[in-house]
Amino acid sequence: MVMSRVLAKKLEIHTQPFWVTFGSAAGTGSIALNSTNSNLIRMSSRLASELRMTNQSLINAQFDPHSLRLRFGPLLGILINAHPQVNQEQVFGVITKFLDECAIAGQSRGLRVAVFAPEQIQMDSKTIHGWIREKGKWLHTHLPFPDVIYNRITSRRVEQQEKLQQKLERLRNHYRIPIFNEKFLNKYQVHQILIRDPQICQMLPETYPFHANRLREMFRRHPVLYLKPNNGSLGSGIIRVLKGDGKWIYQSATPNGTLTRTTNTLTEMTKILTRRIGRQPYLVQQGLTLVKLGSRQVDFRVLAQKNRLGQWQITSIVGRIANNQHIVSNVARGGTLLKAADVLADLGRIPNKPTVTGLRNIALEICNTFERLADGHFAELGIDLAIDQNGKVWLIEINSKPSKSDDTVTNPTLPTRPSVTRLIDYIFFLTGLQQKKNHSPPSPPVKSRPTRRRK
């Protein structure tokens, strides 16, 4: 490599040769010094090839005098479901803009972002065959294993494939690569974890695996029940059952609105529900008398993330207003997002009504409790909270794969959504790389004789 004496002094490089690493790739390097006052680093084509590095306008460099290692990066790998459609404008579908923002924000802070699918993890060659963003386009290339992997797989079927799980296990345990948000959350498992905490358990609606006898028993205590798929998301498959005007009423969310059926007896209703659910794992949950705006149901989605200190912090909190035609408030079902403070103000007089700060503090308590009691590495959680007509706050759900589609962005005027900024912060915390020393990358490569590899 060629660099200025000023830069070598900043990096505190006093010994040669030394290790050079980028992600999992390593080579040996030495430097030739010049008298410029530049932060430009020029790298031989041999070393660049060994590290699988390409030109980048800004990259972090940090030298460790104890291990004699010059480290470039970090390299963040974002794991997605499948190959993108390279000829389409939105190459990664609904998360294209989110991934664009990750790459651009990473680039501005000396971090490299690579996007890849499960089958592109090449264990034999210790590489990923993924995509990097250069000059406004996503390019296909080979890269070393990343320093950190962020699991953005949104299909339970894909995530649970044995081959992928074996790869992730090896990356985690053999290569010591942190993998966060490594799995979907099962609703009943989350309930069973949190019910162990004496504070959080008071916020949980009564919940059990669905069974006909359990349904009858729950109706003795609650006038309204919700039936939910244990592994569901986006409000799909949710059923509401209630008694009104001497009849039993069944309501289920469909893409076109709410489907309603009625029966004269609970026995008839139970038969309908049993046929509808079949062998799917379902839960039966206490219905709550929640606050409404007019006739529309309201709840709150809180996005919590780990920050640059590795601590939970609230990134955003929004009110979700259900569509008139739906029994759920999800944006995917036509719900509307509003600022939490505006929603709370519009709710009017409610006894013990929480503030936005109160909701944030409750969400933080839930995150810290969940992390203490649960297995797995999570750095981002979507927490759904609701308020009943007495002002009590309830925990409806925790989601380990919060939506990253454009319709969840509350301030589209920002070039980078706050969740991306916090994600990059956490990567620097995990890798231990500092941002004080941002340096230009190899550009263009220069020829040099190979250095002898140290034994």
pLDDT of amino acid 135? 87
pLDDT digits (tens, 9 = 90+) for 111-168: 999 999 999 999 999 999 999 999 888 999 999 999 999 999 999 999 999 999 999 9
Helix, strand, coil share (%) of the chain residues, nearest 5: 30, 30, 40
pLDDT of amino acid 157? 92
> Which structure tokens are listed for 130?
């993924």
pLDDT of amino acid 407? 61
Give the contacts of 163 (CB within 8 A, at least 6 positions apart): 118
Rounded alpha-carbon distances, angstroms, from residue 160 to 116, 151, 167, 371: 17, 12, 12, 22
Q: Which residues of the chain have pLDDT under 50?
A: 326, 329-330, 332-333, 436-438, 441-455
pLDDT of amino acid 408? 63
- Rounded to whole angstroms, the Cα distance separating 327 from 5 reads 66
Beta strands in 68-136 (DSSP E): 69-72, 75-79, 112-116, 121-122, 127-134
DSSP character for 8? H
Would you say 142 and 104 are in contact if contact means Cβ atoms under 8 Å apart? no
Q: How would you label 438-455 residue by residue, b for 16+ Cβ within 10 Å and e otherwise? A: ebbbbeebeebeebeeee
Q: Name the nearest CA neighbour of 224 among 184, 253, 187, 251.
A: 251
> Which structure tokens are listed for 345?
């103000």
> Which structure tokens are listed for 25?
């790739």
How many CB atoms within 10 Å of residue 48? 23
pLDDT digits (tens, 9 = 90+) for 96-119: 999 999 999 999 999 999 999 999
